[in-house]
Structure 1
Amino acid sequence: MKTELNITLIARGCAITGDMVVDHGISSFGLLDGGIISTQGLLHIGEGGLVKGSAQGEHVRIDGRVDGDVHARGSLEINGQVSGDIFYCGTIRLGPRASLNGTLKRVC
């Protein structure tokens, strides 16, 4: 059985206005003025990436910045900045550059 890897890439210099919903992984290094939901896989906000809205995913890694709530159903890793409430169910890891402005709640 062949497994297909699907990842959407939002490159630096790209700006998207509106909400995004994907059924696979996504890696964003650009600007997203709206919410983002990844129903499965990795939701990655890369260094220099900015989300002005909520971010929700199975596995979430934030190396950039999110100005909104973050929801992680599985693992959560933060090395960047979050200004909003964080809701997680699995594991959480805060890196040395993590900056949080909001509440941290475990919900399962």
Structure 2
Amino acid sequence: MFGKKAQPPIKSLIAQGTRIEGNVKFTEGLRVDGEVYGDIQTAAEDAGSLLVISEASVVQGAVVADHVIINGTVRGPVHARELLELQPKARIEGDVSYVALEMHQGATISGQLKPLVAAAPGEEEKPLLKLAKTA
């Protein structure tokens, strides 16, 4: 369905036991094992960004990236410009917007789900599925 492309390398780490109070901006890949009290985002022009929020981590603020993988707690809105993966221990308290969503059993969302339409430049939008008429 979605073409698998190489994920960017994770070049930055917020380690377990680390607490950041303030906004975080990153490029390419970021893994959060600690706590962040502020927004985490990548620049809109940084295509292919990857954000991993691990099981022990807590983020209180908005999260924005292309590919977002969550297995910890996020208190705030989540915006995945491409793919949002929710692992079994993911807890989100806020609205979620995404192009594609993969949600494992056990993950919870307390907020609205808002699917986004993504059409790459020069790419036609896929036709909607239509039910065949039965005789």
Q: Which has the larger radius of gyration?
A: 2
Corresponding position of 1:59: 67
RMSD: 1.4
In structure 1, distance between residues paired with 2:10 and 2:54: 17
How far off its partner does 1:38 sit? Answer: 2.7
Mapped pair 1:102 → 2:111: yes
In structure 2, distance between residues paired with 1:92 and 1:99: 13
**Deviation by residue 1:50-100 (Cα, 9 ceiling, x = unmatched):** 1000101000000001000000001111120000000112x2011112011
How far off its partner does 1:41 sit? Answer: 2.2
Pick one of 22, 43, 46 that aligns with 2:26: 22
Give the secondary-structure state (helix, strand or coil) at the position aligned to 2:82: coil
Structure 1 gaps, min length 5: none
One-letter identity of the residue aligned with 2:107: A
Q: How many residues were matched structurally?
A: 104
**Bigger strand fraction:** 1
> Where in structure 1 do 4 or more consecutive aligned residues deviate above 3 Å?
none
Task: Kindly indicate whether structure 1 or structure 2 has the higher relative contact order, using CA contacts under 8 Å at least 6 residues apart.
Answer: 1
Corresponding position of 1:50: 58
Contact kept, 8 Å, 1:26 with 1:38, in 2: the verdict is: no
Pick one of 7, 11, 17 that aligns with 1:13: 17
In structure 1, distance between residues paired with 2:78 and 2:54: 15
In structure 2, distance between residues paired with 1:105 and 1:5: 28
Q: Identity across aligned pairs (percent)?
A: 34
Give the secondary-structure state (helix, strand or coil) at the position aligned to 1:60: strand
**Deviation by residue 1:4-25 (Cα, 9 ceiling, x = unmatched):** 8452111100000100111111
